[in-house]
Amino acid sequence: MTTKLIMAGFGGQGVVLMGTLLSYSAMVQGKHTTFFPSYGAEMRGGTANCSVIVSDEEIPSPVVSVPDCVVAMNIASLGKFEGRVREGGVIFINSSLVDKHVSRKDVEEVRVPANEIAEELGASRAANMVMLGAVIKKTRAVELQSAINSLEKVLSERAMAYLDVNKKALERGFNEIP
């Protein structure tokens, strides 16, 4: 199985951390994985996105032009990547910040109130982990437990104080999906 994702949001939403944790979890499970960031002419406060591939086979190019899934943490990301998802693919929308719905009929829309759930947990900045939990449940790209175990490897020292709430956020997001 191969899952190709693009994760996007504005700078500061933790999109890169979301992608890194997914990729790290895949590595821990012995899978092939690549993480590729948008790089170069980016500005603080601008948009950020990364491409992650998780596969049982060797991965050719880490660049994802036609993703199986797109994660849109803000409205600009939905506009930018909606058209690229493969037919039958999934678009995850952070419904706390995005009112708009997917306009295509050939893809599935999954709405996750990531910021609201994170705030309930007392850490509004953990919205990225809520969303990743949902992505993991829906795509089955990796096991939830791998992501939980990998958190301490990818969080910065400064963020280690929020280790537990990030774990909870992953679980809540995971359980949000039926």
Partner 1 sequence: MAQERSLMKGNEAIGEAAIRAGCRFYAGYPITPQNELTEYMSRRMPEVGGTFIQSESELAAINMVYGAAAAGARAMTSSSGPGISLKQEGISYLCGAELPCFYANIVRGGPGLGNIAPAQSDYFQATRGGGHGDYRVIVLGPSTVQELVDLTMLGFELADRYRNPAMILGDGILGQMMEPVVMSDAIEYDASPKKEWALGSSEGRSKHLITSVRLAPGTLEKHNMHLLEKYRKVEEDEVRYELYEVDDADVVLVAYGTAARVAKAAVAMSRQNGGIKLGLVRPITLWPFPKTVISDIAKDKPDILVVEMSLGQMYEDVLLSVCGKAKVSLLAHTGGGLPSEAEIVETAKRAKSSNEAIEVYPSVD
The amino acid that residue 175 corresponds to is N
Asked if 162 contacts 121 with a C-beta cutoff of 8 angstroms, the reply is no
CB of 101 to partner 1, least distance (A): 31
- The yes or no reply on residue 11 touching partner 1 (CB under 8 A) is no
CB of 63 to partner 1, least distance (A): 6
The whole-angstrom distance between residue 83's C-alpha and the CA centroid of its chain comes to 18
Q: How many C-beta neighbours within 10 Å does residue 60 have?
A: 9
Work out which of 3, 13, 34, 49 binds partner 1, going by CB under 8 A: 34
First-to-final CA distance of the chain? 22
- Which of 24, 81 has the CB closer to partner 1? 24
In DSSP terms, 32 is beta-bridged to 55
- DSSP conformational letter for 95: T
CB of 1 to partner 1, least distance (A): 14
Q: Pick out residues in 98-127 that bind partner 1 (CB under 8 A).
A: none
- The yes or no reply on residue 58 touching partner 1 (CB under 8 A) is yes
Closest residue by Cα to residue 176 from 125, 124, 116, 88 = 116
Q: How many C-beta neighbours within 10 Å does residue 29 have?
A: 15
Q: Pick out residues in 135-154 that bind partner 1 (CB under 8 A).
A: 154
Work out which of 3, 33, 115, 128 binds partner 1, going by CB under 8 A: 33
Size of the site for partner 1 (CB under 8 A): 22
**Element of type H or E holding 2:** strand 2-10
- Which of 33, 95 has the CB closer to partner 1? 33
- The yes or no reply on residue 87 touching partner 1 (CB under 8 A) is no
Q: Which residues bind partner 1 (CB under 8 A)?
A: 20, 23-24, 27, 32-37, 39-41, 57-63, 65, 154
